[in-house]
Structure 1
Amino acid sequence: MTRPERPIAADWLALRRTADTVARDGAPELVAAWVAAADGGDPLIIVDVGAGTGANRAYLERRLPRPGRWVLLDHDAELLAASAGENVERVVGGLGELGDLIRSCDARLVTCSALLDLLTTAELDELAEVLVAHRVPALFSLTVDGTLQLDPPHPADSALIAAFNEHQARDGRPGSGAAGYLADRCEHLGLRVRKADTPWLLDAGAAPLIRRLLTERAQAAVEARSELANPAADWLRARLRLLDEGALRVRVGHVDLLITPGNPAGGACRNHGGTGSRQARPTG
């Protein structure tokens, strides 16, 4: 996987966890269908791509019909080290390791959360090809869709939102178009795709998350369009003042994808021996 220019911070992952949970609870049918598409045998093995501190696993494992065995894949060893849980293996590596992990474990399910918009077009193509080759059901959650709605509105909203989306769609990334790109690619390859909107709906109760979100989005917008430096500063001051007054509401658009083959593969894990961590092989 492409390493972010700014490493994903563990405190940001913790800050967004409640909003993620509420958003995903709005699409329980995708989780149910994802699990139903898995082979019925034991153990139930899941590969979590870009697993970070394990929030995706923590959300999903409570919704599994039986205990699962998790393989957490991420390029950031420090984030993986912060993940907890039983029946967990941590693998330091990137997307190039996913096919080997599925094969060696006979994994029945693949998942990721808040990852697709960080991947390049080439990496999304690679991901689609892995799903076709290994015929494993995938649940990809909380990909930003490029929409940000703030109430009350501000004259600079549109320009800053557009600049942020430009910042995300650079260096070969489709950014907020990632979910749509992957869905189209998978459908072209003969896979079945279901989509669900899973927006964050935030108010004063999520003030720390909103403050961090708006501050970092303003910074990214200015990086994309330097002429927005002064308007962005004014916009951020006005937005944070409303937030402090408890008068700001925010909707951040996300989409979840369920991608399934005709015949999911099954089997038992062969080469992964229980909880631990290993360094992935270099890709080449």
Structure 2
Amino acid sequence: MVLPVPSDVPGAPAPWAARLSEPGSPVCSPDWLALREPADHAARSGELAARLASRLGARLGAGPDPVVLRDLGCGAGSMGRWLAPRLARRQHWFTHDRDAELAHRAARTSPVPATAVVGDLTDLTDLAGTDVVVCSALLDLLDAADVEHLAALCAGAGATALLTLTVTGDVTVDPADPLDAPVAAAFDAHQRREGRLGPDAADVTADAFTRHGFAVTRRPSPWRLGAGDAALVEEWLRGRLDAACAQDPSLTPHAATHLQRRLDALAAGRLHAQVGHADLLALPRDGGDR
């Protein structure tokens, strides 16, 4: 267990600060990624994965060549561990991340052959030879130009896209707390800072892919958290409050007591949270995919 540094120490983190994650950062710690992986696996849309598998079977048949997938912002490889077994065919993944350690870890721990690529979406200029582009918890960190670039790349390559766990801003925590509404407003504003899409990302992405000739299907993929997810819930509460206070400092005097009320309810087994995400499957309409 990580204990907070007393808040009266100069330069010490606030007692409500996130411990494993930096809210809104494109760089994630392996500990945070490992903590959230079971919830991510439970939340993603199995229906969309099944549709993708069916599409690949119809388009590519049972030929000897592997399906080529690119996992953008792959983190530690959670998406590959969830999706690869559901496709039930030969595959080769390219695990893209700006963090070289994570990109190589994802490739090394992949259940199917994989190659690490160090870089992010802005480094990609061509997806030729790619059958499927995937990502997880990435779109809300992008801006509209990034999403347009992604849709154009997929259209140019005829690649299908499965884009998962994009935050929607729909959050319910039970029991309710007086600080819920201002924290939610500040957190959403923090996610939209400097042009990031934040909770608008799923809508903007669906529009971009539709304009580029894709049929887009959207499904909810919320985290549903309770007493059995205590470590994840605490880190999520801390990260949310941390970002909210950074966005709206007027919340700071109330943050510690708000967090303590939440942690007391969590310890008593009374706290439950639903954190909204959306999954998108974008299929080329014109049959031009590989």
TM-score normalised by length of structure 2: 0.85
| Residue in structure 1 matched with residue 27 of structure 2 by the alignment | 7
| Residue in structure 2 matched with residue 265 of structure 1 by the alignment | 289
Instruction: Please state if 1:213 is matched with 2:236.
Output: yes
User: Retained in 1: the 8 A contact 2:137–2:166?
Assistant: yes
- State, as a whole percentage, how many aligned pairs show the same letter: 39
User: Retained in 2: the 8 A contact 1:140–1:256?
Assistant: yes
- Paired with 1:5 and 1:21, the residues of 2 have a C-alpha distance of 21
Structure 1 residue 76: Cα displacement: 0.6
- Paired with 2:194 and 2:180, the residues of 1 have a C-alpha distance of 25
Instruction: Please state if 1:89 is matched with 2:115.
Output: yes
Structure 1 residue 168: Cα displacement: 0.5
| Residue in structure 1 matched with residue 97 of structure 2 by the alignment | 74
| Residue in structure 2 matched with residue 62 of structure 1 by the alignment | 85
Q: 1:124 to 1:6 in 2, by over 3 A?
A: closer
Mapping 1:1-284, distance limit 5 Å = 5=25, 7-24=27-44, 27-38=45-56, 39-40=59-60, 41=63, 42-83=65-106, 84-85=109-110, 86-100=112-126, 102-103=127-128, 106-262=129-285, 263-266=287-290
User: Retained in 2: the 8 A contact 1:37–1:137?
Assistant: no
Q: Residue deviations 1:86-134, cap 9 Å, x none?
A: 411000011134443x21xx11111111111111121111111112222
| Residue in structure 1 matched with residue 15 of structure 2 by the alignment | none
**Tell me, what secondary structure is at the counterpart of 1:62?**
helix
Alignment RMSD: 1.4
**Tell me, what secondary structure is at the counterpart of 1:176?**
helix
**Tell me, what secondary structure is at the counterpart of 2:193?**
coil
- Paired with 1:65 and 1:99, the residues of 2 have a C-alpha distance of 29
- By relative contact order (CA 8 Å, sep 6+), the higher-ranking structure is 1
Alignment gaps of 5+ in structure 2: 1-23
Alignment gaps of 5+ in structure 1: 267-284
Q: How many residues align?
A: 258
**Tell me, what secondary structure is at the counterpart of 1:147?**
strand
**Tell me, what secondary structure is at the counterpart of 1:123?**
helix
User: Retained in 1: the 8 A contact 2:71–2:93?
Assistant: yes
User: Retained in 2: the 8 A contact 1:137–1:264?
Assistant: no
Q: 1:5 to 1:32 in 2, by over 3 A?
A: closer
